[in-house]
Amino acid sequence: MRQDIERDNMKIGFIGLGHAGGALASTLLRNGVDLTVRDLDRAAAAAFVAGGAAFAESPRAMAESCDIVITCLPSPAASAAVVEGPDGVLAGVRPGLVWLEMSTTDPDEIRRLARRFEERGAVAVDCPVSGGVHRAATGNISIFAGCDRGVFERVLPVLKILGRRILHTGPVGSAATLKAMTNYLATANLLTLCEALVTMKAAGLDLATTYEAIRISSGNSFVHETESQVILNGSRDISFSMDLVQKDIGLFQKTADAHGVPLEISPLMIEIFRDGQRRYGERANSDDIIRRLEEATGLSILAPGFPAEMVDTEPEEQGYEIVRGGRP
């Protein structure tokens, strides 16, 4: 458990207990936060309630009883429904309430919703995470926070519980813009790793040796050290699906289009994942994208000794703010 932080008996609500949301909410509960949870699938909340969390019958009820409401949802439309619905967060908002939007969302949409909170004397923080579900589960994930500096300092104690490296990115919308960019880069890396692994197999190289060659070289990356392992295992499961990839790289393309940047690689990536969805399903594991090359070549990209899922082996560490140049 993290070192105790002064929270003034703060009550925190969490909506969205999927892969990432469930891991983040578990970190709050493990660290003794007064937690209320909600998910459309009430069964997803059962373990939290058994562990001492309360259950909110509606987003409105949560807003009426909590100081901070966190959402971690699969799409901008889902967030809007939770916030603006008849029994949504805005229906129960009180002056001083803080909404932390931890979903990967559209920058324009988070700015629009933030204005609605401000009109009611509340504040919104654009607060996506990066680093994978396995790091969300240990509280070692990275967090971007877009909001006024004063608001950032107000929520920083909670962010230090949720994650390890915390970056204040600027005004609301800046964090969402940066998060889409990082997911675009991760996706580009995934696709090039797929091509590299299949090409090395075709050339007769041992895939376990190939993995180590990449890991110790200038070709290494976070994506390689995580996703290449579950690809070689065959599970291809990092708790992320193709529809989420399409949403994220689409958001990045939207930003480029809005600013007149003539991207060349991004449209190709979008088409590759469209093809992957047509073949394997909208919600197929994102790493199943390698199957396109396996099928085209007749090769099996598997190797013994790699895990079926990623587990963060680093000890849970107190979060800290990242400043220019690294850790303060």
Q: How far apart are CA 307 and CA 272, in angstroms?
A: 26
**Cβ-contact 288, 309 below 8 angstroms:** no
Which of 85, 106, 82 is closest to 21 using CA atoms? 82
Q: How far apart are CA 1 and CA 39, in angstroms?
A: 25
Token couple for 313: 């082996």
Strand 129-130 and strand 142-146: the pairing is antiparallel
Token couple for 16: 């969205």
Q: How far apart are CA 103 and CA 320, in angstroms?
A: 21
* Helix 174-202 × helix 207-215 angle, to 10°: 140
**Cβ-contact 165, 322 below 8 angstroms:** yes
- Of 11, 160, 179, 247, which residue is the catalytic one? 179
Tokens 């070689």 identify what position? 232
Contacts of 20 (CB under 8 A, 6+ apart): 72, 102, 129, 133, 136, 239
Q: Is-catalytic flag, 160?
A: no
**Cβ-contact 248, 176 below 8 angstroms:** no
CA atoms within 13 A on the CB side of 204: 0
Q: What is the DSSP string of 182-220?
A: HHHHHHHHHHHHHHHHHHHHHTT--HHHHHHHHHTSTT-
Start-end of H helices in 265-316: 265-280, 291-297
Q: How far apart are CA 128 and CA 144, in angstroms?
A: 6
**Cβ-contact 172, 151 below 8 angstroms:** no
Catalytic residues: 179
